[in-house]
């Protein structure tokens, strides 16, 4: 259920039902994703993950609302590309804390982060925000796909680290918003096997320094909607499972 498209009475009734109510917050960025994907790629992916996870949770008796997404985040690695809008980690974290306070005051039982923007500064911020929100007394479900245990549930390209606007992300956008993909452009792009994980480790601070002068890594030409659906299923299951676990306790 998309909270932003519902009247307030729907939320009131869910909170008064006596059952647990979870809020899922899609988190993305306005950031360059090659010449073939939209700047809002991460928002599309996070929203798709959140929507599927909410359906899984509702099927198991948990009221789950998908909040309107947050499209702005630390995105320094793509800052050299036109259209990228990066905000500071302090600002981003403050917004999350305020949202969490509002949800806790209303009686939500859990806040879930549906995140697909893996800029190191953003992931670090989300980990810190989750810890602070937990201290407020609101459980947080944050499946961090940069952690090995969850990364191994996703595709080989994702695990390689060469996965920004490549086969992995292009497939996900094709699965949900194919109208936003420039397919001829993506099909013409050569593979770029440069690993962002390795680039981060050696100190690269921009996509260009990491070996991505066109803001993509991986193999966009190999993307398919079918792969995207498989990745969405895995990501949504991880999110849904973690929400259920957090509802049961620490």
pLDDT, tens digit, for every residue of 136-187? 999 999 999 999 999 999 999 999 999 999 999 999 999 999 999 999 999 9
Q: What local confidence, expressed as pLDDT, does residue 249 receive?
A: 78
CA 36/CA 163 separation, integer angstroms: 14
What's the pLDDT score for residue 174? 98
Q: What is the pLDDT of residue 167?
A: 98
* Each residue's pLDDT tens digit, 161-172: 999 999 999 999
CATH classification at residue 53? 3.40.50.10310
- Per residue in 186-232, pLDDT (tens digit) is 999 999 999 999 998 999 999 999 999 999 999 999 999 999 999 99
Q: Whole-angstrom Cα distance, residue 132 to residue 102? A: 14
pTM: 0.97
Number of domains in the chain: 1
> Is residue 66 left, alpha or beta, with left meaning phi > 0 and alpha meaning psi from -120 to 50?
beta
Report the pLDDT value the prediction gives residue 157, as an integer from 0 to 100.
Answer: 98
Residue 21: the pLDDT is: 98
Residue 46 lies in domain: 3-248
pLDDT tens-digit profile of 67-118?
999 999 999 999 999 999 999 999 999 999 999 999 999 999 999 999 999 9
Q: Decide if pLDDT at 250 tops 80.
A: no
Confidence (pLDDT) at 53? 98
């Amino acid at each position: 259920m998309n909270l932003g498209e519902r009247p307030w009475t729907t939320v009131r009734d869910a909170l008064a039902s006596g059952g647990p109510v979870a809020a899922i917050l899609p988190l993305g960025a306005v950031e360059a994703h090659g010449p073939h994907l939209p700047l809002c790629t991460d928002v599309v992916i996070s929203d798709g993950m959140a929507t599927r996870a909410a359906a899984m949770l509702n099927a198991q008796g948990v009221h789950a609302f998908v909040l309107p997404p947050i499209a702005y985040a630390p995105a320094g690695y793509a800052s050299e590309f036109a259209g990228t809008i990066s905000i500071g980690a302090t600002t981003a974290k403050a917004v999350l804390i305020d949202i969490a306070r509002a949800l806790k005051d209303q009686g939500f039982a859990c806040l879930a982060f549906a995140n697909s923007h893996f800029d190191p500064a953003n992931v670090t911020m989300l980990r810190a925000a989750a810890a602070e929100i937990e201290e407020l007394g609101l459980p947080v479900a944050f499946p961090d796909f940069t952690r090995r245990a969850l990364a191994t549930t996703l595709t080989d390209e994702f695990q390689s680290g060469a996965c920004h606007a490549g086969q992995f992300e292009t497939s996900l956008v094709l699965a949900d918003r194919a109208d936003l993909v420039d397919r001829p452009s993506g099909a013409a792009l050569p593979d770029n096997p440069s690993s962002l994980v390795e680039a981060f480790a050696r100190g690269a601070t921009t996509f260009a320094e990491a070996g991505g002068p066109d803001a993509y890594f991986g193999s966009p030409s190999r993307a398919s909607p079918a792969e995207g659906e498989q990745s969405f299923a895995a990501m949504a299951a991880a999110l849904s499972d973690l929400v259920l676990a957090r509802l049961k306790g620490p």
